[in-house]
Amino acid sequence: MISIVFLDRDTLPPETRLRAPVLPHRLTCHARTAPDAVAARISDADVVITNKVRITAEALKAAPRLKLVAVAATGTDVVDLAACKAAGVTVSNIRDYARHTVPEHTFALILALRRSLVAYRQSVLDGRWEAAAQFCYFDFPISDLAGSTLGIVGGGVLGQAVAEIARGFGMRPVFAARKGEAVARPGYAPFDTVIGTADVITLHCPLNDQTRNLIGAREFGLMRKRPLLINTGRGGLVDEAALVAALDAGQVSGAGFDVLTKEPPGPDHPLRRIAARPNVILTPHVAWASAEAIQGLADQLIANIEGFCRGEPRNVVV
């Protein structure tokens, strides 16, 4: 009998079906798990499922039976991978489930900001249309996407899907090479060139030591075209305090963020304080969360566990 413990079931909607694995098992689901409760809850587990609950080296010491950490997401920065490797614990993740939902959300943010949809909607609710005394008014900027350059940081499945949508709008997608790379690979342009020439910049790369604060004060200083900055990738890719300063200085024309360094951010978070500005849109980490994508994630999660238990591990990170 395999003991499976899901540490944060409430990070998936209640309507998402989590089918029973086809193997003898006992599944224990916790709505949420506080950091100081992790060790106790995984102490007798063979398999642990986590989405955002951290699995630390200390917690692993309390789980002698543990063989698999099944991450219910693509990003695995919540797991101490080195400690898992040292302990002989396999780590798996979810892949390619968000190839439609994240790119669509990305363009929802781009379109809303380029056409000032949120600002115009609010102005209508505030009575501005009646006050204008004519059929339209021009209080907020509107720009076409056609003919503009989309800088894409991250050339994986999501970045490629975003590029495909961009071409449909008549945009010119350009992929950025790795920051600091001396010679750009074929199909990529130097990072600084992309940052400096794009009308819209969108981030689709993982968060790691090389990408943390990938966009900061230096990069904002290079942005000659006052681009929109879109982040549906990971919180921490952008220095958020530097972003506020860049917005104040007019170095960027707007920001659409679905991910932040701290989630939920709290009222004192730099971007939370400016969330009511007409050129800022914050969404609560839901770019991944279409009903279709989440069900696909749940199905893949169980398939990862079943594959591991029959000796055919899938989506192995460690």
Sheet holding 68-71, edge to edge: 25-29, 2-6, 47-50, 68-71, 90-92
Question: Using CA of residue 102, residue 97, residue 4, residue 29, what is the dihedral sign?
Answer: positive
Residues labelled catalytic: 234, 263, 285
Closest CA to 298 of 3, 7, 11: 11
CB 216 within 8 A of CB 242: yes
Rounded Cα distance, 217 and 222, in Å: 9
Beta bridge partners of 26: 3
Q: ω before 264 within 30° of 0 (cis)?
A: yes
